[in-house]
């Protein structure tokens, strides 16, 4: 990498300190993740649409790379009989999430500092359900299989896993499409993309295959979409999310897709203006995938 990093001087590159492409404990990232939680859960059709919201057979849940804890907190509140454990490898993020639990008076959720890219510090069969959402931004391609195997080890026989990942948006904004193309290229060059040519993220295409390869059975899918077109209920939420998201990934995209900062900046300003046009249309695609720890 050369020109894309021009201007960073001798400051250490934060993305070399971990594998996540965004600075996890940036206040804007914490706020973005908490806001996104509500948007995604609404569009997905609730916390557990794949089981009609029924968690009667579930007592213990592990949430991998839980971030500020939006999902784990919502589950703990909605299902008081369940114990939720969220793990994250950022101390500041874990402390933030734990403070949220205390301030909400939730005694059935706890947040633990742990690296999901190493063997998990839990015994075999410890959980009924493992959840992981939006892992792509921290996962080298080669890390998926070991993590999914490790998730199976800590899930009891008959338990399950659920993964939620997103693809690029489809929009009518030329500038938004350009930002997306750079993001896809950056992920591809960094070795996080399953796309054959770096034009998409490719993660949703491979989730089922990865789960089966890790020994999970009975893979099932539920696709869902966030419509953030002008006039749609999620327009404001989508606008707010991407206004912050593109800023947070700017340094990563400029470095790995080799985009000059000024070029990115112009495109960002243009995209945000195009999102506000009356005729703007945008869909953001997601896939919920789940599977069972069942005998072969
Ligand atoms: C990868 S995303 C996960 C988003 C979260 N699941 C959600 O739905 O909001 C960002 C989080 O992953 C955490 N993270 C990154 N690498 C990690 C790792 N190796 N182990 C555990 N957590 C990690 C970051 O600290 C950050 O809080």
Q: How many CB atoms lie within 10 A of CB 25?
A: 16
Of residues 62, 221, 20, 68, the one with CA closest to residue 150: 62
153 vs 61: CA distance, rounded Å: 14
Q: Whole-model pTM?
A: 0.93
CATH number at residue 28: 3.40.50.150
Mean pLDDT computed over every residue of the chain:
93
Return the percentage of the chain with pLDDT > 70, whole number. Answer: 94
CA dihedral 116→197→14→98, nearest 10 degrees, is -40
134 lines ligand 1 (CB under 6 A): yes
Whether residue 86 contacts residue 109, with contact meaning beta carbons closer than 8 Å, is answered with yes
Q: What is the pLDDT of residues 210-228, one digit of tens each?
A: 999 999 999 999 999 999 9
Query: Is 177 close to ligand 1, i.e. is its CB under 6 Å away?
Result: no
φ/ψ (deg, to 5) at 180: -65, -40
| 17, 20, 29, 187: residue to mutate for ligand 1 pocket, most atoms within 8 A of CB | 20
Q: Ligand 1 atom 1: the closest Cα is on which residue?
A: 135
pLDDT greater than 60 at residue 7: no
Q: Pocket of ligand 1, candidates 16, 41, 62, 89: which has the most ligand atoms within 8 Å of its Cβ, to mutate?
A: 89
- At residue 296, the pLDDT reads 74
**61, 74, 88: residue to mutate for ligand 1 pocket, most atoms within 8 A of CB:** 88
pLDDT at 17: 58
Q: Is the pLDDT of residue 203 over 70?
A: yes
Residue span of the structural domain in which 286 resides: 3-292
Q: Is the pLDDT of residue 8 over 50?
A: no
What is the residue-wise DSSP string for 237-258? HHHHHHHHHHHHHHHHHHHHTT
Q: What spacing in Å lies between the alpha carbon of 174 and ligand 1's midpoint?
A: 30
| pLDDT value, residue 18 | 84
DSSP conformational letter for 113? E
Total domain count, the chain: 1
């Amino acid at each position: 990498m050369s020109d894309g990093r021009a201007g960073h001087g001798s400051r250490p590159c934060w993305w070399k300190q971990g594998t996540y492409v965004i600075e996890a404990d940036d206040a804007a990232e914490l706020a973005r993740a908490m806001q996104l939680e509500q948007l995604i859960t609404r569009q997905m059709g609730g916390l557990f649409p794949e089981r009609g919201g029924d968690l009667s057979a579930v007592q213990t849940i592990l949430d991998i790379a839980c971030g500020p804890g939006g999902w784990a907190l919502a589950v703990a509140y909605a299902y008081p009989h369940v114990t939720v454990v969220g793990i994250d490898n950022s101390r500041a993020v874990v402390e933030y999430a734990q403070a949220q639990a205390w301030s909400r008076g939730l005694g059935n959720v706890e947040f633990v500092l742990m690296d999901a890219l190493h063997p998990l510090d839990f015994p075999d069969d410890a959980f009924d359900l493992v959840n992981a959402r939006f892992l792509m931004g921290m996962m080298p391609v080669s890390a998926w299989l070991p993590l999914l195997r490790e998730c199976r080890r800590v899930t009891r026989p008959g338990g399950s896993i659920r993964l939620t990942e997103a693809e690029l948006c489809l929009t009518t904004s030329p500038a938004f499409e350009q930002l997306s193309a750079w993001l896809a290229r950056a992920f591809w060059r960094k070795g996080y993309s399953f796309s054959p040519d770096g034009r998409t993220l490719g993660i949703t295409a491979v989730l089922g295959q990865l789960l089966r390869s890790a020994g999970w059975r009975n893979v099932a899918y539920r696709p869902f979409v966030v419509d953030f077109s002008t006039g749609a209920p999620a327009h404001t939420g989508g606008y707010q999310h991407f206004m912050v998201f593109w800023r947070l990934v700017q340094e990563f995209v400029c470095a790995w897709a080799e985009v000059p900062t000024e070029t990115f900046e112009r495109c960002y300003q243009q995209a945000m203006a195009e999102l506000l046009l009356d005729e703007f249309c945008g869909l953001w695609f997601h896939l919920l995938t789940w599977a069972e720890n069942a005998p072969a």
